[in-house]
Structure 1
Amino acid sequence: MIPIPQPPETISVSTRIAIVILNWNGKQLLEQFLPSVVSHSQSADIYVADNASTDDSVAFVKAKYPEITIIQNQENGGYAKGYNDALKQVDADIFCLLNSDIEVTPNWLPPIITEFDNNSNTAIVQPKLLDYKRKDHFEYAGAAGGFIDKFGYPFCRGRIFETVEADTGQYSDNTDIFWASGACFFIRKEVFNTLNGFDEDFFAHMEEIDLCWRAFNLGYTTKYIGTSTVYHVGGATLQSSNPRKTYLNFRNSLYTLTKNASGPIFILVFTRLVLDGIAALKFLFELKFKHILSILKAHFSYYAHLPQLIKQRNQITQQKHYYKCTSILMKYYIQGQKTHR
C-alpha cells in the first residue's frame, strides 16, 4: 500500500508552543515514544524535564536528540513539583505537558493551536486520548475529556469507572469540558502562572483537576479538541493496582473538593467519608487489604492537612458549582448507565 502523504503542519507563527515531557528513570519510554513527538511536532520546542533520574535516560536524550532541551530538576517531586520547577525555565505562549508514554499523530498540534488562537478565554485544552494498546478504544486517564460529580468523583466521556468505550467517532467533537487529563495537558503560560501552577501537596494524581477547577473559578474555559489524537499507554509510571495510587486518588479528591467546591463543604466531606467507607468494603470483598489501608491513610492525611486546605479555600474569591451529575456512583451502579451518552 502506498502511504498517503500528510499535509504539512500549519501553526500560527505568532504562537510559541513548548512540549515538556516529565521524565523519571524512563529511558525505555523515551526510546519508544520520543520519535513520534520529534517527527510530528516540528513547529514546537521540545523539552525533557528530568526528575533526578538515576538511570541513563538524560544521557540517551543528549546523545540521540541534541535538539531537545534538557531541564534537570534537583529532586523527584512528582508530577506537580516536577512541572512547577521545570516550567519556570520554559519561555512559550502555550505549555504542552506530555507524558513520556504517549505517541502523537501527524497534525495533532494545529487544531489545538487554532483553538487557542481563536478563543482568548480558552485556558486549557486536551486532545482525544486513545489507548496505545487498543487503538480503537479510549484511554482510561482522560478519554474524551473529564467531568466531576457532586461528591468529587471524576469521570470522562468515553470512560466511567472501569468501563471504557470504543472510539466510533461519538466524541470527535470540540467541546467544553471540566477537566483535562494531565497525560496531555495544554495550558496558556499566563494562566499557569496566574494560578501559581500545580498544588505541590498533591505530588501526583488529580492535580490537573484541581488546577482546572481553580481556572474555572476564575472564569476560564477548558476545552476538548476531538480533531487531535494521541495514544497513551497509561499506568506506565504507577499502575491502578498499586495501593499508592489508591492513596493518592482518595486523598487528592478530598483535597480538591475542600479547596474548590461551592456550598457547605463539611456536608460534602462527611458524605465522602461514608462513600469511601463503601469503597473500602468493596476492596474487602475483593481481598485487597492494602487498598483498604490506603483509604484509611488518605483520610488521616486529609484531616492532618485540613486547616491548610481551609485556608487555601478562603483565599479563593468565589467557589463555583460545576457538577455534571449529582452522583456518578448512583448512575453507574444503581441505574446501570455505563457510558457518558
Structure 2
Amino acid sequence: MALLSNAQLDVSIIIVNWNTKDLLLSCISSVYSSISKNLKYEIIVVDNGSHDGSSEAVKKSYPQVLVIQNKKNLGFAAANNIAFKIMKGKYALLLNTDCTLTKGAVEALYSFMEEHPEAGITCGQLLNPDGSKQNSFSNFPSLLEYITNKSLLKIIWPSRFPSKYNSYNKPIEVDSCIGACVLLRKEAIEEVGYFDEDYFFFFEETDLAFRLKKAGWKVYFVPCAKIYHAQGKSVGSNITSRALFYKSMYTFLKKHYQIHYIYKGIIFLRLIINTLLNLAGTIFTFGLNKSVKHRFFRYLLLIYWHIRGCPQLYPEERQNGNGNRNKRCSSML
C-alpha cells in the first residue's frame, strides 16, 4: 500500500492521465501487485482535465492514491511539475498509463540509483505486450543520424548508437530515456530545474536529460527492470500527435543547438523524400495498400503544416487516438 506520511519516502510514483480511465486503473493495479512492501512509496495521479470519469474511478477504487485534478489539459511537462512540487519521495517514478510494471522492476531501478549517486535518471527495458523489446532509450539528435540512417548507425556503431537489437547483461550509460517509465533523482531535477513547459508532449525527457548531463549527472539503462508498454495508447498516433512530435523536436533543437535551422532543413527534406517514396508506393499499388496510402497522406499533411510555419497546437486540439475525430485533426493542420 502507498504510504502518505510526512516522512520522506523512497519513491513517488507519478502518473499523468488524460481520458484513459481503463488504462489508468490497470496501471495502478500493476503498481500494487509488483512492488514489494519493503519499498516506501506513494502514488500521485495528475489528471489533465479528463471527461471520462478517470479521477472519480481512481478515488473510488484506490482512495489512498493522491489525485490532482487540473481543469484543462496542461500537457505532460506541466502536469509532472505539479507533482514534483509536492512529492515526498527521494526519487520520482514517471509512469505512463499504458504501462504495466513487472515484479521487481521498480526495486531494480531504485537499487541502481542508490548504488550510483552520479545517476540522475534510470530506465528499464520496455516491452511490447507480446514480450518483444521496444526502444527504451535514445540518442540526442545529431547531424550524423539525420543525414544518414539511424538504423544503419545502430548496426555499424553500436557503442555510440545502442539499440534494442543488442543484448545487454548489465546497465549501460545512454543519452536519454524514453519517458514511458523513468526514475528521476529528486536532488538532480531540483538542481537543473523541472521539465520545461514549452514542451506540451514529447522531448521533455530528452531536454531534461540533456540539462542533467550538462550539469555532470549521468543517465543509465537498467535492462533487468522490465515494463510492458502498450505503445501509443496513452498519446495516440494520428496526425496531430505527429505534428506535436515535430513541434517539440524543433523546440529542443532551437533551445540547445546553435545550428538548429540546418537540422530543421534536413528534417524537412527527409519529410519530402518520404512523401515522394510513399506517393510512388501508392501509385505502384494503385492505392490498394491502405498502410502506404495512409502514410502518404500523413506526410502530405505534415508538409502542409510545415509550409504554414508549424503553427502552435493547442491542448484542446490534441487527440488521443480517437479515429472518429481524425477529420478535425486534418482540417486543423
TM-score by length of 1: 0.73
* Pairwise CA distance, 1:18: 0.5
Q: Counterparts of 1:221 and 1:295 in 2: how far apart (Å)? A: 37
Q: Deviations over 1:77-104 (max 9, x none)?
A: 1212221223222222111110011111
Q: Structure 1 296/91 Cα, relative in aligned 2: closer, same or farther at 3 Å?
A: farther
Given that 2:274 and 2:299 are in contact with CA atoms closer than 8 Å, whether structure 1 keeps it comes out as: no
For 1:281, the equivalent position in structure 2 comes to: 276
For 1:27, the equivalent position in structure 2 comes to: 21
Q: Are residues 1:138 and 2:133 paired?
A: yes
Out of 116, 119, 122, the position equivalent to 1:122 is: 119
For 2:284, the equivalent position in structure 1 comes to: none
Out of 247, 263, 272, the position equivalent to 1:268 is: 263
* Pairwise CA distance, 1:167: 7.7
Q: Are residues 1:60 and 2:57 paired?
A: yes
For 1:238, the equivalent position in structure 2 comes to: 235
Given that 2:124 and 2:222 are in contact with CA atoms closer than 8 Å, whether structure 1 keeps it comes out as: yes
Q: Identity across aligned pairs (percent)?
A: 27
In angstroms, what is the RMSD of aligned CA positions?
3.1
Q: Structure 1 155/102 Cα, relative in aligned 2: closer, same or farther at 3 Å?
A: farther
Q: Structure 1 298/186 Cα, relative in aligned 2: closer, same or farther at 3 Å?
A: farther
Q: Structure 1 197/273 Cα, relative in aligned 2: closer, same or farther at 3 Å?
A: same
For 1:170, the equivalent position in structure 2 comes to: 167
For 2:181, the equivalent position in structure 1 comes to: 184
Q: How does 1:78-157 map to 2 (within 5 A)?
A: 78-132=75-129, 134-135=130-131, 137-139=132-134, 143-151=135-143
Letter in 1 for 2:18: W
Q: Structure 1 55/273 Cα, relative in aligned 2: closer, same or farther at 3 Å?
A: closer
Q: Counterparts of 1:186 and 1:200 in 2: how far apart (Å)? A: 19
Q: Give ranges in structure 2 of 5+ residues lacking alignment.
A: 1-6, 156-162, 281-291, 313-333
Q: Counterparts of 2:151 and 2:57 in 1: how far apart (Å)? A: 36
Given that 2:271 and 2:299 are in contact with CA atoms closer than 8 Å, whether structure 1 keeps it comes out as: no
Q: Counterparts of 1:15 and 1:89 in 2: how far apart (Å)? A: 12
Given that 1:179 and 1:209 are in contact with CA atoms closer than 8 Å, whether structure 2 keeps it comes out as: yes
Q: Structure 1 275/169 Cα, relative in aligned 2: closer, same or farther at 3 Å?
A: closer
- Name the SS for the 1:88 alignment partner: helix
As a proportion of its length, which structure holds more helix? 2
Q: Counterparts of 2:140 and 2:61 in 1: how far apart (Å)? A: 41
Q: Counterparts of 1:206 and 1:53 in 2: how far apart (Å)? A: 23
Q: Structure 1 217/168 Cα, relative in aligned 2: closer, same or farther at 3 Å?
A: closer
Q: Counterparts of 1:203 and 1:40 in 2: how far apart (Å)? A: 30
Q: Structure 1 283/74 Cα, relative in aligned 2: closer, same or farther at 3 Å?
A: farther
Aligned length: 280
* Pairwise CA distance, 1:283: 4.8
- Name the SS for the 2:139 alignment partner: strand
- Name the SS for the 1:111 alignment partner: helix
- Name the SS for the 1:268 alignment partner: helix
Q: Structure 1 270/155 Cα, relative in aligned 2: closer, same or farther at 3 Å?
A: closer
- Name the SS for the 1:227 alignment partner: strand
For 1:330, the equivalent position in structure 2 comes to: none
